[in-house]
Structure 1
Amino acid sequence: MPPTVVPAIPALHREVRLARRGDGELTEGHFIIAEVPVPEPGPGQVLVRTRVMAVTAAMRTQMAGMRLPMASFVAGEALWGSAVGEVVAAPDGGFTPGELVHHPYGWREFAAVEESRLRRLDPEELPSLAAHLSQGATAWGALRLAAEIRPGDTVFVTGAAGGVGSLAGQLARRLGAGRVVGSTGSERKAARLRAELGYDDTIVRGAGPIERQLRRAAPGGVDVLLDTVGGEQLTAALALARPDARFALVGALSSQLGGSGVSGAPVELDTALVITRRVALRGFGLPAHPDLPQEWTKEFGQGLREGSLVFPHALLKGIEQAPRALCELTQGRHIGAVLVEL
């Protein structure tokens, strides 16, 4: 195998900064692309060149300056997020130039990253760098660990065309679900969910009351909910919950994409239903499961190679396209993950 050739390190690189708080409709005017010196790695740090970065709905919330379980972006400073890159300098010797790594400092072409925040990636595990930025680990963990999906279950996935939901339908099938229903924002997306991504039926926001649509799509009730949205859709799922239903809550898109300044998706739950039907509601997040990404990578790689899984995503090219990528995500323009190749 030929030795890895590491490109020369330039003096300057580009990073995307938050120009102002993201209140109201998100536009490219909320961002600035700055040219700045490439950082020097300090003790315990590695210099990484970013190859691909992800944009997610949570980033929209981080721009609004509200209280969150994660840090908010700061006006005038660079944004951050999941990215895949290659090591270009490792002064302390813990990594080797040319190694492929996952790091948390996207939105910039180069990053000085603490060794503890890097995760080595095997270039042979997945067929593309982009696949390492799927949100499938969340869908896999929520369905398998939080909802404990069982053979024959009827599963309802909210936000089914997003980065989590576009894989959740396929994974619910893989884990033995009997019927899979997903919600989305347009009939165009709904048709693709049914044709390609494992969904038996779909609910379209704006096409009538959610509960009425769900009763049609899941007449026998719901055993499992994977909820990325909250709000009315969570209420509807509870109304149709079967005894011992398991609800895995992983997001709150109804507020994250609205720019309302509200950090959650408030919803009134009928506690009598929760009690009498013994509904389990569990929040799920990857930080509590540090071994799950590696488990997911193995499952994902096998599924991609054998053709039993597909990875829906949009890939925009050039760091200057990152603001547009996040704007288009908030507008619901894409199906699956939204990524930027640098």
Structure 2
Amino acid sequence: MYNNPSMYISSLVVNVPQSNKLTYKLSSSKETNWKENKTEFPLYALFSEFGITQASPMGNNSLLENTTMSDLALKSVENLLEINPSIHKEADFLLYCHETNEASLYITPTLKIKKLLHFKKLTPVSISYQGSTAASSSLFFLETMSDEDRISNNKKTILTTTDLICAPQIRNFFSTFPKGDASSACVISHSPGDYKILDYYQKSFPAIDQNPYEWDTHKFLLNEQNLFQEVTVGLTEFLNKNNLQPSDLNLAIPQNLSESFFQLLRGYFKNQVHLSIREKLKENNLLNSDCFYSLHELEKQNALNKGDLILLIQAGPLADFGLILIRKER
């Protein structure tokens, strides 16, 4: 019935900074010539190398003073080790999934976590530039490694999804929900865990135009239409592949992308499945951590039962779409 990757998710933790608010206001400050000090504004230099010249106004767009993206990830992994201390010696991989960028002048974020938490044998890997669907790609990475006998079935992986917005990256983008800062961490292994991964899917496709910072409303709507079409087709193919009807699912957890995305999924499922839209940070898109944050909220509410079939629907921010089908095991 399922494309069985024989992987499980366990010990899910989330880390959302207290400074996250329901609505972000993009603050700007006086214009600064970043070219005079590239070390102070390294992301502006990075964006310039990629030909992206129009982003957010100059100034610190981060709500977290003196906190970097890797700091958020580090805290999530620390929280994971508190509830699952044995993974410190057992983990063979650290998969660091992110969409936003951190300009690290000294050490990569994954190596920073390995060094500060004193992991010995762990191999750090970064997965990015796939929108909010890097976690789906990480499963493909792990299954590919396993299929080629590069890792045995007793290997374990720490997966962290982390994003933090800072200039020149922007929080507000047309009618989508503001992007929030968040991190999650969990263990992926072949040993029985909290959730069994039954199948997954990820697709990236060209955006309507190369530089979204130069889009007008018309281009945004064209790209949104293209994304929604990919989601609709992908959902149908995925459910058919697994011999499932929407009514076979106990709930679907959507990316908090936008109100129009919720409307698309309501129309697609036609009340055949419960579309679980979280209460906290309801109008924030937590990017790669978004669906995991919603899943964790349901766990805390004791809203899930053993055997529940759950579909995580990852999408965006522009031209990426992912699905993870899981079953609650305990």
Same structural fold, with TM-score higher than 0.5 when normalized by the shorter chain: no
Higher relative contact order (CA 8 A, sep 6+): 2
TM-score scaled by structure 2? 0.29
Q: Which has the greater radius of gyration? A: 1
Structure ranking higher in strand proportion: 1
TM-score normalized with structure 1 length: 0.28
